[in-house]
Amino acid sequence: MNYDVIVIGAGPAGSIAAKTAAEKGLNVLLVEKRQEIGVPVRCAEGVSKEAISRFVDVDRKWIAAEVKGAKVYSPDGTEVQMTEEMAGDEVGFVLERKIFDRYLAKLAGRAGADVVVKTTATGIERGKDGLKVNFRRMGEEFSEEAKIIIGADGVESRVGKWAGIDTTLKTDELEVCVQYLMTGIEFDPEYSYFWFGNEIAPGGYVWLFPKGNSTANVGIGILPKMAKLSAREYLDNFVKENYSEGEVIEMVAGGVPVKGPVKTAVADNVMLAGDAARHSDPITGGGIANAMKAGFFAGGVAAEAIEKGDYSKKMLAKYDELWKNDFGKSLHRNKILQQKLIKMDDKTLNTLAHSIAGYDLQEFSVKRLVTELIKKNPKLLWDLKKVFI
C-alpha cells in the first residue's frame, strides 16, 4: 500500500495531523508503537479550555476537572493567585489523557486514516519520490511507502534523527518529571497549584492539578543540570512534607523538552510535530495545545504538498513558518523567561512574590503574571521588559 502520509505517534500532535490530512482527502496511516493509545500517561494533564475547543468538541468523558485559576507559591510560602472566569465558566481543563488521546485517534480513524497500534517504526529509507518506512510489529518486520512522514513520536523521537534534523536535548533543555496521582489530600478543587524554589524543584516546579474529589496529579519537573537528587527523590520530599496523609494510586515519569523553538522541524519529505519538534512550552512545560496546533498545521501543509506534488524541504518550510508565527513566538519569549528564572536564587524568588503578595491577577496566564512582576520590579526584570511588554 502506498500512502500519501504516514504519521508516527498517536498522541495529540499525531492524531490531529492524521485527522487533518485525512479530512483533506489524503491517504493516511497513523502508527502507534504502544499497544494502548494514551497510556502510560506522561503528562500533568492541564490545558486551557480555549486551546482544546479550537480543535475538538468538548466531551465530558475526557474532562477530569475544571479549574478557574492558579495558586503560585514562592520558596517561603508567599501566595500569588490568578483567577479567571469567562462568562462565569472555568478557563482550565484537567484532562483524562487516557480517554482524550483515544478520542483523538478515533477522530483520525473516522476521518479516514488507517490506524495501527503495537507497531514501531524502526527506520526510514529514501526512494526516488518518497520514503520507505520500516516497521516492526510483534516481531514481524515490514515496510510501507509514503510521500510524507509526520514524526509525532514524542520526547523520545527518532524520526527527526533519521531525517537529519538534530533535536537532541542538552541537560538544561529537558525537564525530567515524576508524578503521583494522589487521593485523600486536601486542596481547593477550583485551582491548580505551583510551587517554586531551588530546594523544592531546582530549575522547575512542583504542581498539583485537581482531578476530582480529593484526588489530584501531584508532580515535579526539574532541570537535570541543576539537580542534586533525582526527580523522584525531590517529589517524595515534597509529598512527605505537604501531603503525607495521601495515598499514591498511580506513578508516572516523563521528559518534557524546554528547548525553545527549534531552527527547523522539516526535512525533505519529513515534518516533526509536538514534543518530537520540541514544541512544549519552556516555562509551563505544557505541550498539548501546541502539539494540536502543530498537528493541524502539518496535516494542512501535507495536503498542499501532495496537491503540488512537491515534498521538498523548501515546500514543507511553510509548516515551519506556520508554527513559528503562531506559538513559536511564545516559545521564544518563554525560553528567555526560563533562562532568567533558573538563575534566580530563593531570596530573589521570594522578593518577587512579596511584591505582588495577596494579589489576584484576574487572568490565568504566564504573560499576565510576568507583566505584573516587571511593573513592580523594573530593575530586577528590566531585560524581560522588551520581550513581555
**Nearer to other proteins by C-beta: 236 or 346?**
236
Which 184-213 positions form the footprint of other proteins (CB under 8 A)? Answer: none
**Nearer to other proteins by C-beta: 34 or 106?**
34
Among 12, 109, 130, 154, the residue binding other proteins under the rule CB under 8 A is: 154
User: Which amino acid belongs to residue 240?
Assistant: K
The window from 13-21, 79-87, 166-174, 182-190 that contacts other proteins (CB under 8 A) reads 166-174
Residue 284 grid coordinates? 509551563
The window from 27-35, 329-337, 355-363, 365-373 that contacts other proteins (CB under 8 A) reads 27-35
* Least distance from other proteins to the Cβ atom of residue 346, Å: 22
Residue 207 grid coordinates? 504542581
Q: Tell me the C-alpha distance between 325 and 24, whole Å.
A: 23
Q: Is 82 in the site for other proteins (CB under 8 A)?
A: no
Among 8, 21, 63, 174, the residue binding other proteins under the rule CB under 8 A is: 174
* Least distance from other proteins to the Cβ atom of residue 43, Å: 11
For the chain, give the secondary structure using H, E and C: CEEEEEEECCCHHHHHHHHHHHHCCCCEEEECCCCCCCCCCCCCCEEEHHHHHCCCCCCHHHEEEEECEEEEECCCCCEEEEECCECCECCEEEECHHHHHHHHHHHHHHCCCEEECCEEEEEEEECCCCEEEEEEECCEEEEEEEEEEEECCCCCCCHHHHHCCCCCCCCCCEEEEEEEEEECCCCCCCEEEEECCCCCCCCCEEEEEECCCCEEEEEEEECHHHCCCCHHHHHHHHHHHHCCCCEEEEEEEEEEECCCCCCCCEECCEEECHHHHCCCCCCCCCCHHHHHHHHHHHHHHHHHHHHHCCCCHHHHHHHHHHHHHHHHHHHHHHHHHHHHHCCCCHHHHHHHHHHCCCCECCCCCHHHHHHHHHHHCCCCCHHHHHHHC
Per-residue x/- track, 100-129, other proteins (CB under 8 A): ------------------x-x---------
The window from 6-14, 28-36, 86-94, 359-367 that contacts other proteins (CB under 8 A) reads 28-36
Residue 84 grid coordinates? 479567571
**Nearer to other proteins by C-beta: 205 or 364?**
205
* Least distance from other proteins to the Cβ atom of residue 163, Å: 12
* Least distance from other proteins to the Cβ atom of residue 57, Å: 31
The window from 30-38, 265-273, 327-335, 367-375 that contacts other proteins (CB under 8 A) reads 30-38
Which 221-280 positions form the footprint of other proteins (CB under 8 A)? Answer: 222, 224, 230-233, 251-255, 257
* Least distance from other proteins to the Cβ atom of residue 25, Å: 32
Per-residue x/- track, 31-70, other proteins (CB under 8 A): --xxx----x-x----------------------------
* Least distance from other proteins to the Cβ atom of residue 11, Å: 12
**Nearer to other proteins by C-beta: 40 or 189?**
40
**Nearer to other proteins by C-beta: 254 or 260?**
254
Does residue 177 contact residue 235 with C-beta atoms inside 8 Å? no
Binding site for other proteins (CB under 8 A): 33-35, 40, 42, 118, 120, 154-158, 161, 167-171, 174, 176-178, 222, 224, 230-233, 251-255, 257
